[in-house]
Every structure is written in structure tokens, then in C-alpha cells.
């Protein structure tokens, strides 16, 4: 099946009558993916010794962890309430949850978790009410899902704590983008950009160093050189009085240390660019049982070991 004009006799569009045949009709009716998560997922490995009294632990790679959750190391289940992606650290541990036995753990042990359908990577802050959450695909390229997903934000004070899936949806042609309405937006023009220092002057009393923002070019198409439309960046607040002087970075650690600022430049002619501050999330999908496979995201490539070995004469495969 193709979404564009079929190029040969072996390709068929969405409106082809072939999908009415009994051989294909069930597959066509249940095609695509839903937002369903991934249980018992090997997400990374332990990088530090953990005693029975430890209240934090280090991992090989914390980039794919939800902002809070439960992990399993050997037979112990451990809840955590914070993730430091710069230090690869899980903090606020609650040991031995669900009646499991608290035990020591050594570096290299595998860490498993139940990935939620919507992986909250940053809860943002500054929300006055729960934001709208949408599973988005570009319908100018792909067909609409047969059943749209329904999602809702669960709040903790002014931050998003998690995203609940009311309906996982059905028939998404590609992995949908999770769009969470921002807590607030900061507008600026080309004239607010300092080309020498790679900074932006904005009125943004709520911004703090380490916040994440999504850059949006102007409705007219005007943009700032080196900034990518819809891309997320970390903020470093260099000055805050009388207006904020900020720089943008590709990772949290650089924002904290003011290291490797994004080299932004402007011509002084564009107006109406924005930085949207808020929560960030990603969808976890599966096509089972339609194609009998699970579509998952491996965040830590170092944990992969090939299951293949060289064939040897006289030995069973």
C-alpha cells in the first residue's frame, strides 16, 4: 500500500478496491499502529554500585527514561521520582516496591521498565491548568488514523506528571508526534538577537536555566539562522534584570555550564518568532497483532548484543 500515486502494478492506493477482497480486508481495516507502550523493556544498564540504603543510582544512559516511574534490577523493583539526564542519574528512590526484596546491585546489571504509551521526557512548569495533548501526524502526507487517540495530562502543581491514554487510537500510518500545549510563549524579533554573543533579549520573567523551549519560526516564514523550526532547546538565563538575556543549547549540561551556545545570527528583518515553554513527550507504539511485531525505540545502543553466531560443522543451530 502506498500513500502517493501507485508507481507499478504491485502498488495500491488507499482507495483501491483490492482492499475489499477477503484476503486483505481485515489487514486493511486494522492497519497502522496504536499508542500502547512496551512492557518489560530493557532500557539500559546500571553504572554504579547500589547498596540497600542507596537513594539514587547512576545508569549508562538516562535519555530515554520517563520523568518518574518504576524500574526492575534483578528481582527488586525500584521507584524513582527524578531524572538528571546530564549526570545519567535517577533520584528520589523508593526501594523494594510491590513487595520485592531490597538488595545490593553491581554495575553492568540490566535495567528493565514498563514504558508507558506516552513517554514524558520533561514535565515543564508554569502551567495554570492541564494542557491539551494531541497525537499528531501530517495528514497532507499520510491518511488520518482510523481512530484518533485520546490523551490527557495529569498534573503535579504547575508541571505535567504523566500523560494518561484514554483511547490508544488505531491506524496511525507512522509514529505520531505528541504535542502538548505550552505553559507560555515568549515572542521576539530579529532585533532582539545579539550576533556577537549569540544571545536573545526577551521579556520572560518565568524562564530559568535548564528549562526546555520549542522554537517556532514566524508565521510569515521569518526565522533565525541556525535555529530549526519546531526543534527543542535548553535555556541558559545569563541576565534577568531588566530583561532576560538568554542563550540556547542542545543539551541540559551545556545550559547549566554555559558551554557551546547555539551560534545564532540574524539580519534584523524578521518578526514574530516564539519560544514555547512547556512539557515534552514521545509516543511508544505497537502494531501487534496486525503485523505480529513490536515497534519499539532503543534508547541505549550499548545494551544490544547480537543473537547471531558463526555456523560450525556438526553443531545444531
Q: What is the pLDDT of residues 204-251, one digit of tens each?
A: 999 999 999 999 999 888 888 889 999 999 999 999 888 999 999 999
Give a yes or no: residue 66 inside a domain: yes
Residue 56 falls inside a structural domain: yes
pLDDT digits (tens, 9 = 90+) for 131-168: 999 999 999 888 889 899 999 999 999 999 999 999 99
Query: What residues pair up with 223 in beta bridges, in sequence order?
Result: none
Are residue 103 and residue 233 in the same domain, yes or no?
A: no
One domain, residues 278 and 170: yes
Assess whether 191 and 263 both reside in one domain.
yes
Classify residue 248: in a domain, yes or no. Answer: yes
d(CA 171, CA 159): 31
Residue 194 lies in a domain: yes
253-268, pLDDT tens digit by residue?
Answer: 899 999 999 999 886 6
Question: Does residue 2 fall inside a structural domain?
Answer: no
> What is the number of structural domains in the chain?
2
Please give the C-alpha separations between residue 6 and each of 3, 28, 142, 245, in angstroms, as whole numbers.
8, 17, 14, 52
Confidence of residue 31 (pLDDT cuts 50, 70, 90): low
Do residues 179 and 264 share a domain? yes
Cα→Cα distances 106→4, 41, 44, 48, 226, Å: 52, 20, 14, 7, 43
**H helix or E strand, kind and range, residue 82:** strand 82-84
124 and 241 housed in the same domain: yes
What value does the CA radius of gyration of the chain take, rounded to a whole number of Å?
23
- Whether the Cβ atoms of residue 66 and residue 116 lie closer than 8 Å to each other: yes
Q: What is the Cα 90 distance to its own chain's centre?
A: 17
Query: Does any domain span residue 178?
Result: yes
124 and 226: one domain? yes
Q: If we measure between CA atoms, which residue out of 279, 270, 275, 273 comes closest to residue 249? A: 275
Q: What DSSP designation does 59 have?
A: B
Q: Does 269 share its domain with 211?
A: yes
136 shares its domain with 281:
yes
> Is residue 103 located within the same domain as residue 154?
no
Are residues 123 and 271 both part of a single domain? yes
Pair (169, 229) in one structural domain: yes
- Same domain for 215 and 147: yes
User: Which stretches of the chain are DSSP H helices?
Assistant: 22-29, 252-257
Please tell me whether residue 123 adopts helix, strand or coil conformation: coil
Range of the domain at 264: 118-290
Q: Which three three-digit cell numbers place residue 205?
A: 520573567
The candidate with the shortest Cα–Cα distance to 50, out of 86, 74, 85, 15, is: 74
Q: For residue 83, what is the domain's CATH number? A: 2.40.30
- The percentage of the chain sitting over the pLDDT mark of 90, rounded to a whole number, equals 64
Rounded to whole angstroms, how far apart are CA atoms 94 and 55?
Answer: 7
Q: How many helices (H) and strands (E) in the chain?
A: 2, 22
Domain final residue pick, 73, 91, 115 = 115
3-state secondary structure of 156: strand
Amino acid at each position: 500500500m502506498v500513500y502517493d500515486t501507485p508507481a507499478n502494478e504491485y502498488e495500491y492506493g488507499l482507495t483501491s478496491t483490492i482492499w475489499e477482497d477477503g484476503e486483505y480486508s481485515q489487514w486493511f481495516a486494522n492497519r497502522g499502529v496504536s499508542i500502547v507502550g512496551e512492557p518489560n523493556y530493557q532500557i539500559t544498564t546500571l553504572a554504579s554500585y547500589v547498596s540497600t540504603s542507596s537513594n539514587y543510582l547512576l545508569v549508562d544512559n538516562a535519555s530515554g527514561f520517563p520523568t518518574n516511574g518504576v524500574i526492575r534490577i534483578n528481582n527488586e523493583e525500584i521507584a524513582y521520582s527524578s531524572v538528571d539526564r546530564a549526570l545519567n542519574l535517577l533520584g528520589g528512590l523508593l526501594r523494594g516496591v510491590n513487595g520485592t526484596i531490597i538488595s545490593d546491585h553491581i554495575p553492568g546489571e540490566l535495567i528493565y521498565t514498563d514504558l508507558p504509551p506516552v513517554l514524558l521526557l520533561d514535565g515543564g512548569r508554569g502551567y495554570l491548568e492541564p494542557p491539551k495533548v494531541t497525537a499528531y501526524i501530517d495528514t497532507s502526507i499520510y491518511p488520518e488514523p482510523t481512530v484518533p487517540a485520546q490523551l490527557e495530562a495529569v498534573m503535579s502543581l504547575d508541571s505535567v506528571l504523566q500523560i494518561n491514554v484514554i483511547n490508544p487510537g488505531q491506524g496511525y500510518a507512522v509514529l505520531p508526534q505528541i504535542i502538548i500545549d505550552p505553559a507560555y510563549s515568549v515572542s521576539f524579533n530579529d532585533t532582539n538577537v545579539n550576533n556577537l554573543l549569540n544571545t536573545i533579549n526577551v521579556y520572560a520573567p518565568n524562564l530559568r536555566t535548564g528549562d526546555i523551549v520549542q522554537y517556532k519560526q514566524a508565521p510569515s516564514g521569518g526565522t533565525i539562522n541556525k535555529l530549526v523550526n519546531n526543534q527543542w532547546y535548553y535555556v541558559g538565563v545569563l541576565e534577568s534584570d531588566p530583561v532576560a538575556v538568554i542563550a540556547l543549547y542542545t543539551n541540559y549540561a551545556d545550559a547549566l555550564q554555559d558551554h557551546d551556545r547555539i551560534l545564532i545570527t540574524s539580519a534584523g528583518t524578521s518578526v514574530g518568532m516564539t519560544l514555547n515553554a512547556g512539557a515534552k513527550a514521545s509516543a511508544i507504539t505497537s502494531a501487534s497483532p496486525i503485523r505480529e511485531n513490536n515497534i519499539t525505540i532503543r534508547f541505549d545502543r550499548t545494551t544490544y548484543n547480537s543473537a547471531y553466531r558463526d555456523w560450525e560443522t556438526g553443531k545444531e543451530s
